[in-house]
Structure 1
Amino acid sequence: MTKKAYFISIFPKIFNAVLNEGITKKSLNKKIIDFEVVNPIDFLKEKERLDDVSYGGGPGMLLKALPIIESIDFCKSKAKKDTKVIYLSPQGQLFNQSFAKKLAKENELIFVCGRYEGIDNRVIESRVDLEISVGDYVLSGGEIAALAVHDSICRNYKGFLGDENSLCEESFENNLLEYPQFTKPKELESGKVPEVLLSGDHKKIAYWRRKQSLGKTFMNRKDLFSKLDLNETDEKILEEFLSELGYDSDRISELLKEI
């Protein structure tokens, strides 16, 4: 079954430009995915403005409720009745890989992209099922966030990736960051490919990759690392990683106490 996304945005060209490239374009051609962009401007009455000032004062303009509501209802009339409506918002739940997997089970999704200072809250109260944030920073609009969320979801669809094993080894699967990767040539001025990756010994390669994933997650993402259920072997691998970075045994012991 084709998975379809509806994007509600006042800048529809953004979606056509991004989604008609690369692996997404291939999936569109194979009918694995489909998308439609709905512009709230099309639901305005003659000479009506799409935005206005916020009641109570404050900087910037808000997108009016009715054009957004009518856009959502239009999408709902074409989609299944229980299709979820997602609003991209800094106030939303933080998006992550497990969230992407959950949403990938849906056959259709509607993404509402805000602009300026956002949208009238009555849209959220009456039509939105999920508010999603892509991080603790501000973007000029919801389009970039919607495309990022959509792309992450799509990667979990059967047939979207050329190699289904790619998904299993990506960063954030099992709460681990992905190990470093290298390709030809073997030597550059900036460095050499690690010898273990050229050895052909798959057991040693797997060990090295595990060490790199554990180490990078420990150093860069303590929030993810704290979710891991480490065994004795993993702890030894991590000690080895830290030792290779130049930490002495006392410092390694201190760092491991933070786990």
Structure 2
Amino acid sequence: MQSCISRLRRPEITGVIVDYDKNPISNCKVGEVLTDKNGRFKLMEERYNAFLLTEIFAMEAPPLMVMEQIEKDGFEKDAISMFHKWGGGRKKGAKINLDTIYLKKINQPFNVSALLKNSNWQMGFTKKADTLYLVKNGFEEWCKTDRCNPFYSEYKALTDNYFYGGKNLPEGMIKRSLAIKFDTEKLPIKINMICEYKSTFEGPNRLPDTVNTNGSYKVLSNAEIIIDAGTLNELTGKYKVTDLDLFQMKLTKTK
């Protein structure tokens, strides 16, 4: 009989499900379990046996792929997903604590002015600056599920040609970082943009460009925003809010 080796199918996963007002959600289905009255859940570690000889020939640990659905009446469906190329090789006792997971209500209301007030965001924009992707500072700590991950991928593709293989930036530029502060102490908007360029061996290499400018904004009927981006004229205009969540916002230019 061929010897076997234990492989990881799913680590122990723990966390707390809350609504956007931070109220715990009880009896929320996470994978095969339900949350308790405090919104807590625990998915037990799952393992399987693989033939040792087969694993030796493979020369590496198997991948880990986890997909656990999150469902509750009155809320949008969501999912916890994980992938690691060699994660199946983790030893017994593997644990992951996701801490707090925010579940979005169906037709969740938002106050755009309140979301922007006294807050810091990162921005990516398309070649024609007709669509802006805004990600609020703290997004990566907040975004733990499949609902928000696609938005972040789209944002990164607009800001980083080198690492993410995008083609959005001007020729020779590899990264464009734009930080925008709303309602600063003396100014409605403060913008800092840094553009990084491809290095060459022919030299001299082009140093990063930095632009600092001030502007203003106005929210119209919680559905549109007028932005004056100072010296960044391509970003100035009227935009419709076409995607909105606690830490993300998509604006589409109307004129």
TM-score (structure 2 length as normaliser): 0.29
Give 1 or 2: higher strand fraction.
2
TM-score (structure 1 length as normaliser): 0.29
